[in-house]
Amino acid sequence: MATSAESTPNLVTVADQPEGKRSSYKKLGARHKARRRAVDLLFEAEARDIDPADLLAEREQLVGDDAVAPVNPYTRTLVEGVADDLDRVDGSIESYLQDWTLERLPAVDRAILRVAVWELFHAAEVPPVVAVDEAVELAKELSTDDSPSFVNGVLGQVVQVAPQVRAAAAATRATPHPDGEA
């Protein structure tokens, strides 16, 4: 009896892949896909010089069209989060760039770093190691050969201050406003 691999001659398994390329063939989860779409949307918004939230709304209006997939809720969270906190996210990235400016980075690397830094600062349910690993994987998929190690280096420094940023944000949310609102 023929196995499914024998009956499908073009089927390639992970074990058949060259050792150096196996990570790119691993099964991608919903969160990874959501992060990748967030990077795509942030990249496109920057290229078109429009607000990422406006681009997100534009995409959501096109969902009825067969050519546009629905926007994952986590993609929406990431894009809206980065857009709302862009100045702090960019300032944090820029403070860890050595001999570079944010504008000199490839646009895709900026988008990847923005998503990862936002997750490190605001997504308490995402372990820091996961945010960094996902960013490195996206850099491998979408950017230059040097980008994964560059992204890892920048995020390795951001990870060290992320707990303090999260704590400060939590304290700010917990501090009552003078008008009585929390």
d(CA 88, CA 82): 9
Kindly state the DSSP code that residue 165 receives in the 8-state scheme: H
| pLDDT value, residue 82 | 97
pLDDT tens track of the chain, all 182 residues? Answer: 444 444 333 333 334 434 444 444 455 799 999 999 999 999 999 999 999 999 999 988 888 766 778 899 999 999 999 999 999 999 999 999 988 899 999 999 999 999 999 999 999 999 999 999 999 999 999 999 999 999 999 999 999 999 998 888 778 877 766 665 54
State pLDDT tens for residues 22-34: 444 455 799 999 9
The architecture that CATH gives domain 30-173 is Orthogonal Bundle (1.10)
Kindly state the DSSP code that residue 97 receives in the 8-state scheme: -
Sign of CA dihedral 96, 135, 47, 77: negative
Contact indicator for 122, 169 with CB cutoff of 8 Å: yes
Residue type, 79: V
Domain coordinates in residue numbering, the chain = 30-173
User: Among residues 111, 95, 134, which one has the least CA distance to residue 52?
Assistant: 111
d(CA 37, CA 21): 22
Query: Helix or strand or coil: residue 24?
Result: helix
What residues have CB less than 8 Å from 51, skipping those under 6 apart? 45, 83
Q: How far is CA 177 from CA 12, 55, 165, in A?
A: 59, 33, 20
Query: Helix or strand or coil: residue 138?
Result: helix
